[in-house]
Amino acid sequence: MSRMKLNLGPQHPSTHGVLRLILDVDGEKILGCEPVIGYLHRGMEKMAEGMTYLQYLPTVDRVDYLSGFFNSYAYVAAVEKLLGIQIPQKAAIIRVMLMELNRIASHLLWLGTYLLDLGAVSPFFYTFRERELILNFFEKISGQRMMYNYFIFGGVRSEIDCLEEVEPICKTVLAKLEDYEKILTENPIFISRTKNLGIMDRETAFAYSITGPNLRASNSHLDFRKLSDLYKDFEFKIAKAEDGDCFARYKVRLDEIRESVKIVLQAVEKLKVAGGNINTGLKPLNLKIDTGEAIADVETPRGLTSCCVKADGSDKPYRVKWRTGSFYAVQILPKLLTGHMISDVMAIYGSLDVMLPEVDR
């Protein structure tokens, strides 16, 4: 018997971050797995206790650097709940539009890097090319490509003056999605590497608190966007697949890009006629918040992100707690990997779209 322990990571190129997996292997077969997290811990929660509400806002984008708008939204919405302010309608639409564009960018990056893990190099360049269009748009409106700091308490920072660029971006993304489907959906190599692999049924997914596309690939309808007030004026379908394997997760993410494009186009139409302020003009510099606690949820590309802010009357938060989707996706790894081969580890792990900075905060 050639049973041994194998360390995969922390410096493994396919983990897209620093994750260590202690694999218990018998030859090529995996008998057990223990994920070790914490290599990317930056103390985002403790850091908040020493900063004012305003100072903490730019650092929030770094919780998950591929979907900065979502994290910003979760924190900003929690503080707005504490303050009891309503944001203007126009700001809400802008937020939805940017978050959905961000979701498209995040899923495109996932698709490219996942295929890179599986050994296909070309699609990586194609998805990054389309993602670049979206990031350039973000750079134009906010000033940076990934760390936007664009949402403020009570709205958004500035008007969007290049709204006409959004529709061409959406059209390009939709057109190129066809290309990706041509390359992948019927590709026998891709199918044999992803079908019937890492199957997660609905009950297991719920038991492990999996949310987001990973859960919806396991035959569930749960999408927190349908429950939130922010999205109640937008029409979209819930992308869903039934098999719960890696291929189903791929299908769900591709379908989600299509649904996001629909939401973005609706938001653009709304913004064209929307008037009024884009923020409430709140002066956040020496913002003091009365004792209280508020939680805001948002459906990110990687599941449910909640931000809980507890205030104690001073200008600094008493406690900030993050709940992120990727953390739970890592915990299910031992269950999914056991019984598979070493070469399937990255195919399964990659399909979960785990973002390590989000796991450790």
Find the shortest distance in angstroms from Cβ 93 to another protein.
Answer: 20
Distance set, CA 307 to CA 44, 75, 329 (Å): 12, 6, 18
Distance CA 5, CA 335 (A): 17
Tell me whether residue 153 or residue 236 sits nearer to another protein (CB atom).
153
Convert residues 285-324 into a mask of x (bound to another protein by CB under 8 A) and - (unbound): xx--------------------------------------
**AA letter at 96:** V
- For position 102 contacting another protein by CB under 8 A, the verdict is no
With contact defined as beta carbons under 8 Å apart, do 16 and 23 qualify?
Answer: no
Tell me whether residue 83 or residue 156 sits nearer to another protein (CB atom).
156
With contact defined as beta carbons under 8 Å apart, do 223 and 236 qualify?
Answer: no
Is the sign of the CA dihedral 228, 132, 327, 74 positive or negative? negative
Distance CA 29, CA 4 (A): 11
Tell me whether residue 139 or residue 233 sits nearer to another protein (CB atom).
139
Instruction: Give, as ranges, the residues between 135 and 154 that touch another protein (CB under 8 A).
Output: 136, 139-144, 147, 149
> In the structure encoding, which two tokens stand for residue 306, read together?
């909640």
Tell me whether residue 6 or residue 189 sits nearer to another protein (CB atom).
189
Closest CA to 309 of 40, 42, 52, 41: 52
Distance CA 92, CA 104 (A): 19
- For position 119 contacting another protein by CB under 8 A, the verdict is no
Determine which residue in the list 12, 45, 58, 340 makes contact with another protein, applying CB under 8 A.
58
Which range in 106-114, 128-136, 235-243, 263-271 contacts another protein by CB under 8 A?
Answer: 128-136
Find the shortest distance in angstroms from Cβ 185 to another protein.
Answer: 9
Which range in 68-76, 175-183, 232-240, 247-255 contacts another protein by CB under 8 A?
Answer: 175-183
Distance CA 168, CA 101 (A): 13
Binding site for another protein (CB under 8 A): 51-52, 54-59, 122, 126, 129, 132, 136, 139-144, 147, 149, 157-158, 179, 182-184, 186-189, 191, 285-286
